[in-house]
Structure 1
């Protein structure tokens, strides 16, 4: 073994590097590091060598310099026609007008990242490879998006059509022949965002671009029109009455039909409009009771019953109406031969949230006038102004009357004389076989409404007479036969307060909505009432029209002064039960309405 070799235990001998070889290796390492540093310094913020974009060398340039070079050396995009089409509608523009340009930024960013991302050995390998085989990136042709949006928006004006949704309209309430189904009108509109994306992605295409179009309305086919007629037809003659406390809202058949959409569903816009109006009507704060009266004479000077605070639940109300309309459509219409205001009423309670008042009626008196025990209502639409005035006057004179226990109330005695001298106006009354002007027309509207309230309260009715002829007002919201006529003398409405406490009669006439109600306040003793076995029969057609000469009319002129009404017979049974559920009274009320001929005055 020579002196230049040294043994390492377990390995054997390893040749010892000569000083000159060690120095060579160290020199190479130092030069490599120094060269790398110089390279990195030279190409700091510059693109590394061996990189091209669209065959233009950009190595050694900053991204900004490279972008400027590309703009100088790359050719401008070729101008081409861009066409949008829908059916036979076309609109053309040029690629130049759409701002066609070469998008450099993305390719420059990719070029700049070469040699700057990834593991060091990988970066070195990529740079070494690029020095022998150049890396090449390509620019993309793109449109200016704002210009494309403007182009598509112009095309919208040519293509978009305002459509009409199918609707049903009932021109006359209760008249199936006046139901009109509008099948709808086609509507369409450009789907702007989708069409803009189509244009932007087909920048290299010479073919016309089919714009994306969406339908904006439904058009019914023949079968759907028939179904719509059947669906809307089932609502004709129907009326939905909604109540919250004593507030009453109504949807007649015309309004119900308008809520439908086709081929299915409901018009939420109309529904929301109704609910907004109803919320203002129904919702109210709690009201404290105020009651002032003379304890000796029982003359009332002030009476304000307590009221619960109410807030309409709009979501539940919407669902309630939809469910009711679905129920209407699930049933078949059943004809009724009565021939006057043939309405099928559905009454429902509105869903409301309540708040209790601080002062109740029971806190204001010791007469037992604590709560509402009876309620009646009627309508008087189409009344002439004088009749409306008389209804209001009569209501005020009957209202706020206290009836002690065991005492009989007389409508005629309470109201007093009905004449022009006592403030009544001339309105239509039935007299001597004619509908003619007479003092007090409209008084029976109030007696009929009070009759209904007394029935509801279950008080003992001692005298009631029906009208001789059917009066349309009293069948607007009730079945035939639930009316009471009054006139001077014994044509009266009377009842006895057969409770152990005083009762108070309270009337309200709403002349704006032509609706009135009568309320009876007292103490609820647990009695309940029910109207059963209501029947209508004996239909008699109106007699032939009657003509009467009138010298005040020009010769040959005919003026109708009365309208034909069919005659019918009716009956219903009024059942009263006590708190134990035992029947205490069961009374049947009969009415025999004579037919009424149309009457004409004829000029001589």
Structure 2
């Protein structure tokens, strides 16, 4: 018997409608999200179950691996999370369609949780990781060992692909993995090893084959092969080749002096009726030191062995305008030491005093006696005189200038300025205050002090046949007093006899230790004390016998 078509349609409609009504408003049976069964649950219950199930995954740190760099980061720090509302909605989508009803009645399905992403936060975290991972390529270069050019071969760098890394991190989080491998790509160097080797064997070798002459304002100077090699490098030119670069810092002082047409003159002061008045500065003419390195590099690039440098104005260290603002108003300290008349050492004391007279030390500057005066030589008026060397008196050009250093040390001491470097004499010399004196030689030991005041310091020197005086002019800050301990750890004189034309007799002085305190006062109150500890060796009594 044939079943009427209308009955078939009604049965089919009921077969679809009844399950559809029953499934309406619930997650279809057999639906699992990340292994969590949600089938048959209403949306709120499904979200609650899913939130609980995914909480551990949301808090479990992800290990990001990139070129050996490992970083553990919480998903929230990466801007990652699970959108359980969207996940449940996706699970329920199409549940009441014929296909959805059939799948619910006769099948099951697995769906991935919907991941929420804060793009800005994820990119920022990966960019931070990239700073630890990325390396710049080592561009090829050429340096010198002695006069021999040595190639530095290029090496590639690397860079984290942030875009690809973002996708890898999302996928790992979505899949429930605890780590993600991030793609790092190679960044090639601009230069090739062949270019570096070829340049080293040709251009770089020729560059130091002979000295380079520099000329300016009618004067000439030479940069030796060794000086060229010490400052010369070949670096990438950005076009796949190498270009010369010269660091002129080592040669600049000597060349600036040799090619100086007119020396600049610092502003200073003259004392008129007990008041300092500014003596204006004067600009000089010489080479532009900043242009020296590029000029030498260009000569090397051009294959030239002579460079004509344009003259430029050379500004003084202390300008007139600066001097007017330094508050040099009054004498803040003065010290005098005495000596016998007319010995060769007196010539040296007077000569160094003349070289330092009128020098202005700006606020914050450190004054170096060797730096300002330079090596003592006969060309500048210094003569041979006795000095202490290797425990004996010997004759040397510039001997005796330690008396000037001692006199200046005491001006620094009573002016309240910072002692940076001083060394007492090996043996005590009775014309100096014990524990408050300084020796000096070239290049070491030096005598250095710092103007730690906000004012300028003018150094004025004067002398007689039997004395040397150093005055400091500035703005007074402190009243300074000196206190000394008694002598202790006294060591006796030893007796020695030597012979030979170079022997200089020594009278002999006991050795001892002594402490000196510098006491800083303001408005009559002590604000600071500074201790100076000095130990003197015993000076032997040396008798010279004729050879």
Instruction: Give the TM-score taking structure 1 as reference length.
Output: 0.37
User: Higher Cα Rg: structure 1 or 2?
Assistant: 1
